[in-house]
Chains A and B, each alone.
Chain A
Amino acid sequence: MAVARRGVHRTRWIKLQVFRYVTFALAGIFFLVPLLSMVEFSTRANSGGGRTLDFWKAIFTYPELIDWNFGPAPDASVNASLELALVTSVAMLVLLVPTMVWVRLKLRRLTRVLEFICLLPLTIPAIVLVVGLFPMYVWLGTNVSDSILTLGFAYVVLVLPYCYRALDAGLGAIDVKTLSEAARSLGASWFSVMWRVIVPNISNAILNALLLSVALVLGEYTVANNLLYNNLQVELVHLQRTSAGTSIAVAVASLLFAFVLLMILAFIGGRGRREFREEAVTKLGTGPVLGSAG
């Protein structure tokens, strides 16, 4: 009886393992083939067969894609997206970190409200938000500035949920109250508490939040396209009609860029304690990589 029972378990175990590895193989094909195909497509020769880097070299021949003007009014879309990523990340940190610390220290009853508001952009589709932003940006464009960098105002809202979660995890891991009371009793100003006590203690969480917002901004399409600004993704769609190969090369390059950022994060996080690195990896998993889905 016991032997027969073990036999049943054994066949069931084998069936399960077959099912598992067939599933993993099929999933591997479905998820990897499209990504690898982009590399294949972007290294085709313009005419005839063989592998070349023609499409990759061509990236620098499109002034609407990339140039050396990194000023306040960038013309090229790569420059614009990079500057937007910078502006958005800095604005997000300046806005969110002090507020979250302050609520933890002095206004605990606002915790739920703050969380609700920060997660709200997840439930409002970007395309709906754009409808409301449209008249505001028309006004901004005529009265303040029509620079593409004004998109940063909207992007801070889009990155809010992801950054809130990353920073909340970081602040939850340290004793904000004790740390700041200790610093205050030693005569530190609130600015010093923030800059020299809190920020160094949540540097991993800040790095997470930064990476998430950079990835989201570089992949953002919906808001820019509908507010009629040419950021990287909007330009890629235009470029696809004239040179599919080059546009796909740029798409691969931006994916690689996001991947390098991810490695940097894992590397810097890896210098800390082991738990922190794992946390960084799982946190990455909850954020956008080159734009939220859709």
Chain B
Amino acid sequence: MLGGRRFSLDWVGTLPFFAYVFLFLILPSGIVAVGAFFDAGNSFTLINFAHLSRSFLVKVTVDTVAVSAITAVLGAILGALLAYAIATGNPNGVLRRLLVSASGVLAQFGGVTLAFAFIASIGPAGIVYLFFQAHGLDYYSREIWLFTLKGVDVVYLYFQIPLMVLVFLPALDGIKPQWREATESLGGGTWHYWRHVAGPILFPAFLGGVLLLFANAFSAYATVNALINQGAPMLSQQISNALSSEVGASEPGFAKVIAVEMIIIVTLVTVLYTLLQRRTARWL
């Protein structure tokens, strides 16, 4: 009874969980963040950050940003169109439930299997390519672009579009038909409605979707690594290279500093996304 409340031992029950999370989530994150500031001799240095300006790494960073931006914008536009097609149907229909469930599954469908799916279809031995080739359209006549960054753009759309559907559909559902009727009663047509009513309301949600898709593509590793196994054209692959190569052993800070670069970019994008979400919530 003595001081029972003040010295409650209830927190002991959560100790195993927090100890585990500390060991396998917080500690590795800390190793990355702190390790970026140390050299092979374990002394404090900022030299690792200077390594980020190595020309090949700058090129890879620019390429990764480009792939992420292209797939984010394209994925967002196509995903928004698909979401609109879904939103304008019966809200309780079988079709809608099927498409939403499928989007949920496909948005997470990535990695080796996804790369295989594209190799088996539009790859140089795939059925789609063979079909087009037999009909006089050889889309690999210049280069086999599936195994370049152009191919990565196409393959990433496979999970970017469904992710946009999931993110954008709630915003579209928030649009009230009365707004369109109000526009019409004021003499506005379809163009006015989209330009002055629905567009401005949906734009923050759309932009938020673009940012989420960007972060999603930016940190992806498995899909691109199964598709392109030479040259490591993406930042995530450079981290992997720096981790396991000979260079990595002599420069333990290098992988960590690229990882920090990635985290900074992803965090920036995520913060912007959260701010936009708040703005979206004001209207929808």
Contact = CB atoms under 8 A, between A and B. Distances in A.
Interface of A: 12, 16, 19-20, 23-24, 27, 30-31, 33-35, 37-38, 40-42, 95-96, 98-99, 102-103, 106-107, 110, 114, 117, 120-121, 123-136, 153-154, 156-157, 160, 219, 221-222, 225-226, 228, 233, 236-237, 240, 244, 247-248, 251, 254-255, 281-282, 284-294
A23 B25 CA distance: 42
B240 A128 contact: no
Given A285-B101, A290-B109, A38 B117 contact: yes
Contacts, number: 244
A124 B29 contact: yes
B69 interface: no
Most buried by B among A33, A98, A293: A293
B28 A37 contact: no
Given A136-B27, A282-B104, A284-B104, A110 B236 contact: no
Nearest to A24: B85
Q: Interface residues of A: mostly helix, strand, loop or mixed?
A: helix
Contacts of A42: 120
B226 interface: yes
A45 to B, nearest CB: 13
Most buried by A among B116, B126, B162, B217: B116
Most buried by B among A27, A121, A128, A287: A128
B222 A125 contact: no
Q: Interface residues of B: mostly helix, strand, loop or mixed?
A: helix
A127 B255 CA distance: 10
Interface stretch (B6-14, B43-51, B195-203): B6-14
Bin the interface of chain B by size: 35 or more
Given A99-B13, A157-B24, A219-B113, A128 B262 contact: yes
Contacts of B100: 282, 285
Contact of B109 (A19, A154, A289): A289
Contacts of B13: 98-99, 102, 106-107
